Amino acid sequence: MTNIGKEFIDGTRYPDYSTVDLVLRKPEPLHELPPKPKQEKIKLPNPKKFKVPGVPVRDAIERWELVGFFSRSTIDLKELSYMLWCMQGFKKIVAETIQLRNVPSSGSRYPLEIYIVANDVKGLDTGLYRYLPKSHSIVAERVDSGIILEMSTASMNFKVMTRAAVTFLWVGVPYRSVWALGNRGYRSMFIEAGHSCQNLILAAANLGYDVFPADMFHDDLMTKLAGLDPETQHPVYLAAVGKVERNVTIA
C-alpha cells in the first residue's frame, strides 16, 4: 500500500504561483454551477428577516453530541433558508470578484456546492435539491421519494439518515480553487467543508435541531445519487439534521 497521505501532503504544498492557471490567464471557472435547462429557481425566504432564538455559543457547542437516532421532525423553508445561508450564503456582493460570505474560503474561491436531500421539509417534495448562494434559491435536481433509501445505502446504511428531516451533501468542485491556488486548492476544498458544517451545527442549535456529520459514504454511490461528473465533482461531506428527544437540558 502506498503512502497516499504523504503523497497528498507533498503534492499540495504551496506552488510556484507563476505556474497556476490564474497567472497563465486561463478562463476562470464559474463560481457556482448554473441551473440546468428547464430548472426553475425556488426562491428561499430572506434569512435576514427570520428571527432566530439567541443561543449562547457555549450552549450550542456543549449541546452537540453524536446522535444515533432522530425522532420524526419537519423543517420549514424559513429554517432551511437560515441554515443554508449560514453554511454558504452571502453577506455582501461588492463585485463579481469580491464576495463576502458567512464562511471563510482560501482565496475566496468557494469550491463547494451544497446539495439537499429533503425528507421532511415543509413546502418541498421529497427529493434532491441544490443551493444557489448568489440568488439564495434552490433548484430541484431530482424529485423522488426513493432517494431517502438511496441516501441510506450510499451512507453505509446509517439509520439516522432515513429519519433525518434533511441531509446536506457538500460536493467539491476543486478546479475553482486549483485555478488560483494550484494543487493547494485541494486542501482548501476539504478544510472548507469543515468550516461550513460547523456553521450548520451552530445554526441548527439555534433552531433546536441536532446534526449528524459523516464522512463515511460510498463515493461511487453518492456520485451517482447526486448525478455528479466524477471527473470534476466529488462528494466530500454529509450532515443529517433532525431532532432528538432529550431527558436533560443544558443548565
Domains of the chain, first to last: 4-30+42-242 (3.40.109.10)
pLDDT of residue 246: 62
How far, in Å, CA of 97 to CA of 94, rounded? 8
pLDDT of residue 96: 65
Q: What is the pTM of this model?
A: 0.93
Q: What is the mean pLDDT of each run of 10 residues along the chain (251 residues)?
A: 88 91 95 93 93 86 86 94 97 73 94 98 97 96 95 90 95 97 96 97 94 95 97 97 69 41
Residue 156: CB atoms within 10 A of its CB come to 12
Question: What digits encode the pLDDT tens for the residues 87-112?
Answer: 999 987 776 666 789 999 999 999 99
* C-beta separation of 130 from 118 below 8 A: no
